[in-house]
Amino acid sequence: MSTRIPTPSPDQTRRQVPAALFVVVALTAWLFAGSDDGQSYAANKPKAKVKPPDLKILSVDPVPLPFIPAETPLILTIMVELPKSLPDEVVLDVTTLITSPSKLSIRLLTNRQMITPKTNANGASGNDDQRLVEVVQTWDGTDHTKRLVADGIYDYQVQAKLMVMGKNGLLTRTTSWRKKGSFEVRAR
């Protein structure tokens, strides 16, 4: 005895396909729609608060403005605030990157100095003035190839690092956030 499975007529098949297609489309739309206003979870996710580093660049003062390379060098006075607690012997490394608008002309200025926790920058101990260090950098108006730079608005980025002596040399302990700015260079 064999059982025969009845095959649907073409008219019945035409009615079943739109119903099945409707179910698939409805399920897909429901899955992708979500329950909110269409924004993803990442857009609504609360952002984690970022704790600023203990090493801070408080100010960068470029003088003279506008800068004329043939007359005097540009002097950058950088105020750095040190953390409340420091290792015994630490090196403060302040680096300034000066770039032209086209990024073809660049210059890197660096300054390193030893800082001791008992007699920091000003020779005082135990007060907040002890945590402030003034770093002075000079730029003669030349680029990385030692040629005078062209006129324009130049950008700078200053970053400070605290470094300690490791087995194979200096190791970065703390890094500040970059301080950015710009100044004008004129030929005359």
Judge if 132 and 92 occupy the same domain: yes
If one counts the domains in the chain, the total is 2
As a whole number of angstroms, the distance between CA 188 and CA 186 comes to 5
Convert the pLDDT of each residue in 100-159 to its tens digit: 988 888 999 999 999 876 544 444 444 556 689 999 999 999 999 999 999 999 999 999
Amino acid at 64: P
Closest CA to 176 of 58, 44, 74: 58
**4 part of a folded domain:** no
Contact 176, 55 (CB under 8 A): yes
Judge if 15 and 78 occupy the same domain: no
Helix, strand, or coil (residue 92): strand
**15 part of a folded domain:** yes
Judge if 111 and 143 occupy the same domain: yes
Query: How many CB atoms are closer than 10 A to CB 184?
Result: 13
As a whole number of angstroms, the distance between CA 162 and CA 128 comes to 18
Contact 61, 168 (CB under 8 A): no
Judge if 134 and 110 occupy the same domain: yes
pLDDT, mean over the chain: 82
As a whole number of angstroms, the distance between CA 95 and CA 116 comes to 20
Range of the structural domain that residue 118 is part of:
56-185
pTM (2 d.p.): 0.69
**113 part of a folded domain:** yes
Judge if 91 and 152 occupy the same domain: yes
Judge if 90 and 152 occupy the same domain: yes
Judge if 105 and 180 occupy the same domain: yes
Residue ranges with strand state E in 21-89 = 56-63, 74-81
Judge if 16 and 100 occupy the same domain: no
**33 part of a folded domain:** yes
**3 part of a folded domain:** no
Judge if 24 and 99 occupy the same domain: no
Judge if 29 and 104 occupy the same domain: no
Check residue 11 and report its DSSP letter: H
DSSP string, 133-180: EEEEEEE-SB-TTSPBPPSEEEEEEEEEEEEEEETTEEEEEEEPPPEE
**In the chain, what percentage of residues exceed pLDDT 70?**
70
Contact 60, 78 (CB under 8 A): yes
Convert the pLDDT of each residue in 16-63 to its tens digit: 556 666 666 666 666 665 555 555 556 677 777 888 889 999 999 999
**61 part of a folded domain:** yes
Judge if 60 and 151 occupy the same domain: yes
